[in-house]
Amino acid sequence: MTAVEEAPLSPAGNPIGFGNMKRVEDQRFIRGEGNYVDDVNLPGMLHSAILRSPYAHARIKSIDTSAAEALPGVVAVITGKTLEGIPRPSLLGDNFAWMPTLSYDTQAVLATDKVRFQGQEVAFVVATDRYIAKDALELIDVDYEQLEPVMDAKKAMEPGAPVIRDDKGQTDNSITDVHGHKTWESGNAIGTAEAIAQAENDPNCVVVTQEIMYPRVHPAPMETCGSVSYLDKVTGQLTMYTTSQAPHAHRTVYAMVAGLPEHKIRIISPDVGGGFGNKVGVYPGYVLSVIGTIVTGKPVKWMEDRGENLMSTSFARDYHMTGTIAATKEGKILAVDVDVLADHGAFNGVAQPTNYPAGFFHIFSGSYDYPHAHCKVTPVYTNKAPGGVAYACSFRITEAVYLIERLVDCLAAELNMDPAELRLKNLLRPEQFPYTSPTGWEYDSGEYEKTMRVAMEIAGYDELRKEQEEKRARGEYMGIGFSFFTEGVGAGPRKDMDILGLGMADGIELRVHPTGKAVLRLSVQSQGQAHETTYAQIVAHELGINPEDIEVVHGDTDQTPFGLGTYGSRSTPVSGAAAAVVSRKVKERARQVAAAALECSPDDLEWELGRWFVKGDKERGKTITEIALLSHGSLELPEGVEGHLDATAVYNPPNLTYPYGCYICVVDVDPGTGQVKVRRFIAVDDCGTRINPMVVEGQVHGGLADGIGMALMELIAFDEDGNNLGGSFMDYLLPTAMECPTYELGETVTPSPHHPIGAKGVGESATVGSPPAVVNAVMDALAPFGVRHADMPLTPANVWRAIQGNPIRVDMAVE
C-alpha cells in the first residue's frame, strides 16, 4: 500500500482520485431542492397518524373507534384486532398484528393484548390530510387497565417482577437469543478471574472496580422517520418511499413481513435527513403505511412527530456496566473483567449481526496490550421502547470504548499516574499487528503511539498540565481528558456476519458508456455521507475517469444491486472496496480491448491513470474513453471478451477494518454551578486512506458534537410510573453551536492491509471515541474534590452533586 499521492485535476477542477472535492449533492441541497420523504406527494395520497399508548404497561380492555371513523375525511381506522384479521401467508406468524424484529424476537405492529411501553402503537388512522388524521386520534377511546411497569432494569429479574412478555409464555423478564442463550459471554472467564485474584493478593498490583452506566440516548436525526407506500392493485407492485439506511434489507424484511413477493417490492430511499442508526430498524409505522395502502388502495404517507421519534424508534445504549481492571503498580494492565446488565426494552429489537447478540461490545479490551479479558452480558426486558443498537455506535463499540477508557482513567487515578503516561505504557505496538485481541478480534493495522503523540503535540499537553496546576492553585478547575479508541467496522465477513440470515456482503455495478462516461450503482445509502461524491472519486482513482463524468446511483432497489446498507461505518470498508474491485474488473477488461486495438498481448500493456499503453512505448496507448468506444464498436475482440466494459462485483470483506484515534478534550468546570465548558477538542483519527479528507473531517466534526451531547446533556430517562422524560427537544437536549468548540483535527494514515484502497471507514469514529474524552476531562477537573466517576450526562446538577459526593442516578427521574 502506497501513501496517497496528489491526484491530477479534471477539467472541472476535481481530483481524478483522492483529495478534497466539493460535494456533488450540495447543488440541490443549497437550493432547497433536496427530496426527502415528506417532500414526496403522490396523486390521491392519504395521510396517517398513530395513536400511541400513554402508559408503559397496561392491558387493553377495549378500543372504540366509531367516533373517529365518523369524522369527515377519515378513510380508515385500524387496530390490532383489524390486523389479527388479516391473514399473512408467511413463515413469520399468521397475521399482521405482530412482526419479527431484526433479532428474531417479535414486536407488536399494533398492540392487541397489552401495551408494553409508553408510546407504543395502538391504532392507525388514515385520512385525507394530516390535520384530520391527528384530529381523529383524539376521538379513539381506549379502555386500559394499568399494570405495574418494570422501569428499573436492575429490578427486572427480581422475583415477583411483573412479566412483560407473557405473550411469549415467559415467566420472567429474561431475554433468550436465537441460539438459546440468556447471557452472552466472550473472552477467557477463568484466566481473567485468576489474573484478577492474583493481582488482588499481590502488593505490587492494584485492582479497581467501577460501576459505569451508559444511559439511554437517541440518534435523533433532524428528519424523523416516515414512509409513503403505494400498492398498485393492478400490477401488484408495492412502491415505498422511506427513510431507510438499508433499502435492500428493508425490501427483504417487508417481503417476509407482508408476505408480498419480493420482486414486486420497490424501496426508494430518497434524500435521508440524517440516520445515525435511527433508520436501520423496521418500525410499525412503516409497516402500517404498507397496510394502509393495502386497505385503502391509495398511497399512504406516514411521518413521525419528533415525540414519536424519540419515544418509540430505536434508542441506543442503556448498558449498566461493572468493570474491573487489574494492573501492576507500574501501570501495566493485566486483565479486565466486565459484567453488563443490558436494558433492551419491551421487544428485543436490536439491529446487529445474528451471532453477536451484544454487538461488538466484546472489543472492550481496547487499544491496549494485555492477555486476559472477559465479559458477560445479561439482557432484560423492561417497559421501555425497543432498540439498543443505533446512534453511530458501531454495534455497541461506543459502550466498549467508553467502558475501557473510563476504567483506564479510574486506574490512573488509583495509581496517581498521568492518564497519558498510563495509556502510552499499554498501547499496542506496531509490530504486534495483525493483533489478535483477548476476545478474538484481529486488528488489521495501527501505529497507536504515533497517533497519540500527534494528538498530544497539537494539544500542547505539557503546557496544558502546567496551566491546570496554576489554575488549581487559584481555585479554578480545568480538566484534560483522553480517549484512545479502536473501532471495528465494515461488517462483515459473510461466514460470521448476517442480519436475519442476510450475509453482510455488498453488490455493486459499474457501467461505462460508449463515450467513456460511467454510472456506478451502489447498494449502500447515504444519509449525508457524500456517497455521490466519494464513490465517483474511487472509480476515478482506479480508472482515471473524471469524477464529474461518473454518476452515482443509490437509494432505489430497482436501480441498484443487493446489499445491506449504510450503518456501522460499513460503506467505505465494504462498498468502497466493492467500488475499487468492480473498477479493477473494468480496467482488466479495458486491457483486453486495448490489446486487441493496439494489436499486442495484454501482458505487454502498462497502466497509467486513465490509459493503457505499450510497455516501453508510451506514445502507443489507448485512454479509457477510447477503449470504452472501442468496446462498443466493431473492433474484433479476443476470444472470451464479450464487449462493453460493464462489470458487477459483490464484496465479501475478509475481516473488519480497525480505524482508531486519540482524542483530547479540555474543559473548564465552574464548581459553584456545576457548569462545564468544552474549551478545546483535539481529534486525531487514523482511518487509513482518506478518499476525500474534507468529507472525513466533516464526519469527525459531527461525531465530536455527538460526544459532547451525550457526555453533557442527551438523555432518555424514565420515572417509576413509566413516563419517558426525554420525549421532546425541550427535554432531549442536543448540543447547539454554543456548546461546541472549533475542533482541532489531526491525522495519521495507516492503511488497512486487506482493503483494496486501504480505507478503514470513519463515519462513527468520533461518536464512539469522543464521549469518554469529555467525561475523563470533567473527572480530571473534579479530581481535587476526590471525584472519580459520575455517569453521563454530566449536567450542571450532576456535576455539582458529584462534587458533593452524591452523583445522580441518571436512568431514572431526578430526585
Partner 1 sequence: MQTPAPLEEYVRATSVADAIAQLEKYGEDARLVAGGHSLIPMMRLRLARPEALIDINDLDELKSIKVEGNEIVIGAMVRHREVLDSPLLFEHYPIFRECEKVIADPVVRNRGTVGGSYCQADPSEDLSALGSALRGSVVIQNSTGTRTVPMREFHFGPYMTQVGDGEILTEVRFPIRPGAGSAYEKVERRVGDWAVTSVGTFVVVKNGVVEDCGIGLAAVGAEHFCVPAAEEFLIGKAPTEENLVQAATLAAEGCNPSSDQRGPADYKKHLAKELTLRALRRSVQSSQGA
Partner 2 sequence: MRFAVPSNQAKEPDMQVTMTINGESVTKECEPRTLLVHFIRDIVGLRGTHWGCDTSNCGTCVLWVDGEPVKSCTMLAAMADGREVRTVEGLEQNGQLDPIQEGFRECHGLQCGFCTPGMMMTGRWILDNNPNPSEEEIREGISGQLCRCTGYHNIVKSIQWAAEHPAENEVKA
Which partner in partner 2, partner 1, none is near 76 (CB below 5 to 8 A by kind)?
Answer: none
Looking up cell 486488528 gives 443
> Considering beta carbons, is residue 425 or 701 the nearer one to partner 2?
701
Q: How far is the CB of 322 from partner 2 (least distance, A)?
A: 31
Q: Three-state secondary structure along 251-303?
A: HHHHHHHHCCCHHHEEEECCCCCCCCCCCCCCCHHHHHHHHHHHHHCCCEEEE
Contact 759, 489 (CB under 8 A): no
Contact 397, 443 (CB under 8 A): no
Which partner in partner 2, partner 1, none is near 609 (CB below 5 to 8 A by kind)?
Answer: none
Q: How far apart are CA 450 and CA 597, in angstroms?
A: 49
Query: Residue 128, interface with partner 1 (CB under 8 A)?
Result: no
Find the binding residues for partner 1 in span 771-800 (CB under 8 A): 795-797, 800
Find the binding residues for partner 1 in span 4-33 (CB under 8 A): none
Side-chain-facing half-sphere of 86: CA atoms under 13 Å: 22
Which partner in partner 1, partner 2, none is near 694 (CB below 5 to 8 A by kind)?
Answer: partner 2
State the alpha helices, DSSP H only, in 683-733.
693-712
Q: How far is the CB of 138 from partner 1 (least distance, A)?
A: 7
- Pick one of 138, 158, 421, 588: the residue that binds partner 1 (CB under 8 A): 138
Q: What's the grid cell of residue 381?
A: 426486558
> Considering beta carbons, is residue 204 or 736 the nearer one to partner 1?
736
Q: How far is the CB of 707 from partner 1 (least distance, A)?
A: 15
Which partner in partner 1, partner 2, none is near 458 (CB below 5 to 8 A by kind)?
Answer: none
Tell me the window of 133-141, 419-427, 768-776, 778-786 that interacts with partner 1 (CB under 8 A).
Answer: 133-141
Q: How far apart are CA 361 and CA 340, in angstroms?
A: 10
Q: How far is the CB of 688 from partner 2 (least distance, A)?
A: 20
Query: Residue 131, interface with partner 1 (CB under 8 A)?
Result: yes
CA dihedral 213, 703, 534, 240 (to 10 degrees): 60
Contact 401, 772 (CB under 8 A): yes
Phi, psi angle pair for 598, to nearest 5°: -90, 0
Q: What's the grid cell of residue 235?
A: 400490477
Tell me which residue of 301, 307, 287, 399 sits closest to 350, measured CA to CA. Answer: 399
Which partner in partner 1, partner 2, none is near 814 (CB below 5 to 8 A by kind)?
Answer: partner 1
Give the length of the chain. 815
Contact 489, 659 (CB under 8 A): yes
Q: What's the grid cell of residue 139?
A: 376521538
Query: Residue 673, interface with partner 1 (CB under 8 A)?
Result: yes
> Considering beta carbons, is residue 30 or 178 the nearer one to partner 2?
30
Q: Cis peptide before 693, with omega less than 30 degrees from 0?
A: no
> Considering beta carbons, is residue 45 or 600 the nearer one to partner 2?
45
Q: How far is the CB of 674 from partner 2 (least distance, A)?
A: 21
Rg (CA), the chain: 27
Task: Let me know how many helices (H) and strands (E) the chain has, helices first.
Answer: 18, 36
Which partner in partner 2, partner 1, none is near 815 (CB below 5 to 8 A by kind)?
Answer: partner 1
Q: What's the grid cell of residue 701?
A: 466534526
Q: How far is the CB of 781 from partner 1 (least distance, A)?
A: 17
- Pick one of 418, 731, 744, 747: the residue that binds partner 1 (CB under 8 A): 731
Which partner in partner 1, partner 2, none is near 527 (CB below 5 to 8 A by kind)?
Answer: partner 2
One-character DSSP codes across 418-429: -HHHHHHHHBPP
Query: Residue 463, interface with partner 1 (CB under 8 A)?
Result: no
Query: Residue 41, interface with partner 1 (CB under 8 A)?
Result: no
- Pick one of 739, 743, 744, 783: the residue that binds partner 1 (CB under 8 A): 739
Query: Residue 305, interface with partner 1 (CB under 8 A)?
Result: yes
Determine the 3-state secondary structure of 746 from DSSP. strand
Tell me the window of 290-298, 410-418, 463-471, 669-677 that interacts with partner 1 (CB under 8 A).
Answer: 669-677
Task: Give 462's contacts (C-beta < 8 A, 6+ positions apart).
Answer: none
Query: Residue 307, interface with partner 1 (CB under 8 A)?
Result: yes
> Considering beta carbons, is residue 149 or 793 the nearer one to partner 1?
793
Q: What's the grid cell of residue 803?
A: 462534587
- Pick one of 219, 735, 756, 772: the residue that binds partner 1 (CB under 8 A): 735
- Pick one of 373, 624, 705, 713: the residue that binds partner 1 (CB under 8 A): 713
Query: Residue 801, interface with partner 1 (CB under 8 A)?
Result: yes
- Pick one of 650, 675, 677, 747: the residue that binds partner 1 (CB under 8 A): 675
- What's the Cα-to-Cα distance from 723 to each of 149, 151, 311, 315, rounded to whole Å? 10, 9, 10, 15
Q: What's the grid cell of residue 91?
A: 413463515
Please give the DSSP secondary-structure letter assigned to residue 10.
P
Query: Residue 805, interface with partner 1 (CB under 8 A)?
Result: no
For partner 1 (CB under 8 A), the number of binding residues is 35
Query: Residue 733, interface with partner 1 (CB under 8 A)?
Result: yes
Which partner in partner 2, partner 1, none is near 223 (CB below 5 to 8 A by kind)?
Answer: partner 2
State the alpha helices, DSSP H only, in 11-115.
26-29, 66-70, 80-84
> Considering beta carbons, is residue 59 or 306 the nearer one to partner 1?
306
Which partner in partner 1, partner 2, none is near 703 (CB below 5 to 8 A by kind)?
Answer: partner 2
Q: How far apart are CA 541 and CA 555, in angstroms?
A: 23
> Considering beta carbons, is residue 73 or 503 the nearer one to partner 1?
73
Find the binding residues for partner 1 in span 551-590 (CB under 8 A): none
> Considering beta carbons, is residue 127 or 401 the nearer one to partner 2?
127
Q: How far is the CB of 485 from partner 2 (least distance, A)?
A: 17
Please give the DSSP secondary-structure letter assigned to residue 556.
B
Q: What's the grid cell of residue 191?
A: 484466566
Q: How far apart are CA 406 and CA 482, in angstroms?
A: 9
CA 570 to chain centroid, in Å, comes to 9
Contacts of the segment 428-432: beta carbons below 8 A, 24+ positions apart: 428/367, 428/368, 428/369, 429/369, 432/369
Residues near partner 1 (CB under 8 A): 130-131, 134-135, 138, 303, 305-307, 672-675, 712-713, 715, 717, 725-726, 730-731, 733, 735-736, 738-739, 795-797, 800-801, 808, 813-815
